[in-house]
């Protein structure tokens, strides 16, 4: 569907080649003095600027949860915010540990999104979340943004477990990559009626964000230093976001299409659940829900703490 060349609003399907929307036609006629001063001029909000439902945004809530968890970890680990948390501490705060997750502690796929390994880790992720989350929430609306963020986080965590099932991963960047993927798909497929001039800047920023972080994530392995960036989670979150963004743009582009969006999210969750079950079956782990016994947990925690952390989102 075409967009108005003046304001970017979406034109109706029966515009017969017109390139300017009725709102702009009337507005320009009034500016030329062709309409009386008492002629009604409808006030239509700019479609790409959506107001938050309240003064406190969901982006701020997610930001606050991450910071609160980090402060709790700092207090419980000696009070030094600039030291790296040991593996055992990350496990205790529900990091995504492949063996524990696949053995029944499935909630780690989501809780790990709110856990970070050190100050630099959380500072960079929260900087990205503050900007990208605000943009996503303003465009999608609160509940769609929240579902996107959490489901992309699940997709990122599942990809991380699939790539290194004995590793440990924490952080919000997989979910943030998902937001970037959803926005890229939405902009490319024309979900938001944003003028081309206003679109070019965000698109360049998104592509740079994704490209830079993926390249940076591969650099340690290329140089043999065995870095701590979990590109499996980044790619998993990005792909989940691209798929969700494309489905919403094609099937439920408007906020009044809420039932369709709910269906899209439910189908995606079922697909992720199926992937998790298949992964557990692949590693011959009995399917169950609940914490593993204390002896197993202690042994696994000791192994993680003594060994190299396989990845940090």
User: Which residue numbers are catalytic?
Assistant: 173, 234
For residue 197, give the nearest of 1, 38, 69, 6 by alpha carbon. 6
For residue 47, give the nearest of 204, 254, 230 by alpha carbon. 254
Q: Are strands 96-97 and 168-169 parallel, antiparallel or unpaired?
A: antiparallel
Task: Report d(CA 218, CA 105) in Å as an integer.
Answer: 29
Cβ-Cβ contacts under 8 Å for 26 (sequence gap 6 or more): 35, 39, 41, 42
- Residue ranges of E strands in 47-167: 96-97
Would you say 209 and 128 are in contact if contact means Cβ atoms under 8 Å apart?
yes
Rounded (to 5) percent helix, strand, coil in the chain: 65, 5, 35
For residue 102, give the nearest of 281, 270, 294, 230 by alpha carbon. 281
What element of type H or E holds 72? helix 58-76
For residue 23, give the nearest of 37, 3, 38 by alpha carbon. 3
Torsion of CA 289, 269, 163, 208, to 10 degrees: -140
Dihedral sign from CA coordinates of 91, 96, 101, 102: negative
Task: Report d(CA 97, CA 94) in Å as an integer.
Answer: 8
């Amino acid at each position: 569907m075409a967009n108005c060349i003046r304001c970017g609003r979406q034109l109706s399907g029966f515009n017969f080649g017109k390139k300017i929307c009725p709102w702009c036609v009337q507005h320009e006629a009034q500016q030329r003095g062709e309409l009386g001063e008492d002629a009604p001029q409808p006030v239509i909000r700019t479609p790409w600027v959506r107001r938050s439902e309240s003064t406190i945004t969901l982006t701020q809530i997610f930001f606050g949860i991450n910071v609160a968890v980090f402060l709790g970890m700092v207090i419980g680990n000696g009070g030094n915010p600039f030291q790296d948390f040991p593996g055992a501490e990350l496990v205790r705060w529900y990091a995504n540990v492949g063996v524990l997750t696949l053995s029944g502690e499935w909630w780690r796929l989501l809780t790990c999104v709110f856990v970070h390994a050190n100050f630099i880790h959380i500072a960079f992720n929260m900087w990205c979340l503050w900007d990208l989350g605000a943009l996503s929430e303003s465009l999608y609306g609160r509940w769609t943004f929240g579902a996107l963020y959490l489901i992309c986080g699940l997709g990122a965590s599942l990809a991380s477990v699939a790539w290194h099932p004995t590793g440990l991963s924490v952080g919000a960047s997989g979910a943030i990559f998902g937001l970037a993927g959803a926005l890229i798909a939405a902009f490319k497929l024309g979900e938001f009626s944003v003028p081309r001039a206003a679109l070019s800047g965000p698109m360049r920023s998104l592509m740079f964000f994704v490209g830079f972080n993926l390249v940076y994530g591969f650099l340690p392995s290329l140089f043999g230093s065995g870095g701590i960036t979990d590109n499996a989670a980044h790619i998993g979150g990005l792909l989940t976001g691209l798929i969700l963004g494309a489905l919403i743009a094609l099937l439920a582009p408007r906020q009044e299409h809420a039932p369709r969006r709910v269906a899209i999210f439910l189908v995606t969750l079922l697909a992720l659940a199926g992937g998790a079950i298949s992964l557990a079956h692949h590693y011959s782990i009995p399917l169950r829900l609940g914490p593993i016994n204390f002896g197993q947990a202690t042994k696994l925690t000791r192994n993680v703490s003594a060994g190299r952390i396989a990845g940090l989102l």
